[in-house]
Amino acid sequence: MKRTLSATVALGAAGLLVLTGCAAGESEASDTIKVAYQKFGTFTQLDAHMKQVKDAFEAENEGLTVELVPIEAQQNDYFTKLALMNQSAATAPDVMYEDTFMVESDADAGYLAPLDEYTEAWDEWDMFYDNAKSAGLSSDGKTYGIPMGTDTRALWYNKDLFEQAGLPVPWEPATWEDVLDAAATIKAKLPDVVPLNVYSGKAQGEAAAMQGFEMLLYGTGDTLYDADGKKWVTGSQGFEDSLAFIGDLYQGGLGPTPEQALDKNIGNIVASEWLPQGKLAINLDGSWLSGTWLETGTAPWPEWNDVMGQAPMPTQNGDEPGANSMSGGWTLAMGSKSKNKDAAWDFIALALDKDNSQSYDIAASQIAVRSDVSEDPDYQAANPTFGFFSEIVAVTNFRPATSDYGKISSEITIAMEAVMTGQQSPAEAAAAYDEAVVRIVGEENTTS
């Protein structure tokens, strides 16, 4: 039987007491810790998790108060608002919800405190997979974030719509052409249905750059960044081919209209309306998507598992390994300006202990990063898609962990938007991207 949250706190509190006193002195430490995190659209599981941990933490730590700061913003706006908070000691959070791809740049900016002295004394750190631990590492070799879970991405498709259109179920596309052909069939047979959604354009930020474009690019055999040479790649045929896919999708009438796609709320519309209402046939999206439809989600859909199927995103021409995915994930990090780092760590350790990690991973449909969670029968039985999305970790890729990535990512979305709206050809947009990369990093830091 799973322990209750209060029992978890009671068991964990004794082990965490040894850490008190290793930061600022008692007279200097604040009795309030500020916890900042994103609250946006249909993704409310994190808000519920933070409220639950706050109550348990305060119950076991008399005299300490947790001030929750939910930032209601889309992803790019969240990063901006969090950065503004971190610029002043008066507003900087003690604990923050930190995207793994922001760890490097935020550590470089001095916003994050290293956690190594805490993890070295934390027995539960051994339960985290090594590759998950690396998500919170910066190039200085220090750990700045503790992972909450990870994710993979694939094609979600509506089995009922596929059968109506005469398409095979289960669907097993082997190439990009197979994906576009299926979308064309949907368009011809079911004209009132949006055939295929791939997030694109500046308004979608990382949902477009990573979840859309990089899901294509890494299926061509090309890459954004040469990690061995530590140089950004320009002149990539795979980059241009990926933009051509976006052009075929949007200019070919196989996706949402550009106006719909550039709506900041498109992700919420897809999850809570288009898919449950049978208005979208294929959606390139993340492993977390079904969390919206669970009984505990914001748009419960009891039939979702009967209606929705999943297929790996194929490589461009079916080349090995045959499929491609992208993985990311979020961490909890400690603010460098925190006046009570010990209490901040205690909150992080409680929020991500075994039971609380498992509770959050189930509610948010996250792939577990702790071995004791991933092996737990309750976790394995909680969502029928966990097995599928965990299996494609074998073909997943990760964003470049460099401080330049945020600027490069923005240029990717600009190129996508230029092609999806017909303002530039794929070749023109790729050339403009190459020029932007050189401006950002310098020609000496690029390779063709």
171 and 296 both lie in a single domain: yes
157 and 196 both lie in a single domain: yes
315 and 358 both lie in a single domain: no
74 and 119 both lie in a single domain: yes
Residue 1 lies inside a defined structural domain of this protein: no
Distance, in Å, from the CA atom of 196 to the CA atom of 309, rounded to the nearest integer, reads 14
The tally of CA atoms less than 13 A away on the side-chain side of residue 348 is 32
Distance, in Å, from the CA atom of 325 to the CA atom of 386, rounded to the nearest integer, reads 15
105 and 162 both lie in a single domain: no
354 and 260 both lie in a single domain: no
What would the two tokens of residue 318 be? 């079916």
Amino acid identity for residue 391 in this structure: E
220 and 117 both lie in a single domain: no
The boundaries of the domain holding residue 202 are: 153-327+404-447
Distance, in Å, from the CA atom of 93 to the CA atom of 323, rounded to the nearest integer, reads 40
pLDDT per residue rounded down to tens, the chain (448 residues): 333 333 344 334 434 434 444 443 344 678 999 999 999 876 788 999 999 999 999 999 999 999 999 999 888 789 999 999 999 999 999 999 999 989 999 999 999 999 999 999 999 999 999 988 988 999 899 999 999 999 999 999 999 999 999 999 999 999 999 999 999 999 999 999 999 999 999 999 999 999 999 999 999 999 999 988 999 999 999 999 999 999 999 999 999 999 999 999 999 999 999 999 999 999 999 999 998 998 888 899 999 999 999 999 999 999 999 999 999 889 999 999 999 999 999 999 999 999 999 999 999 999 999 999 999 999 999 999 999 999 998 899 989 888 899 899 999 999 999 999 999 999 999 999 999 999 999 999 999 9
390 and 414 both lie in a single domain: no
431 and 385 both lie in a single domain: no
Residue 26 lies inside a defined structural domain of this protein: yes
3, exposed or middle or buried, with CB in 10 Å at 0-12, 13-18, 19+?
A: middle
Domain count, the chain: 2
Q: What is the largest CA-CA distance in the chain?
A: 72
Q: What is the pTM of this model?
A: 0.83
Residue 399 lies inside a defined structural domain of this protein: no
How much is the pLDDT for 42? 67
How much is the pLDDT for 187? 98
- Whether the CB-CB separation of 246 and 158 falls below 8 Å is answered with no
**CATH label of the domain that carries residue 214:** 3.40.190.10
Distance, in Å, from the CA atom of 372 to the CA atom of 127, rounded to the nearest integer, reads 6
208 and 301 both lie in a single domain: yes
Q: Domain end: 394, 414, 432, which one?
A: 394
282 and 305 both lie in a single domain: yes
Residue 364 lies inside a defined structural domain of this protein: yes
315, exposed or middle or buried, with CB in 10 Å at 0-12, 13-18, 19+?
A: buried
187 and 210 both lie in a single domain: yes
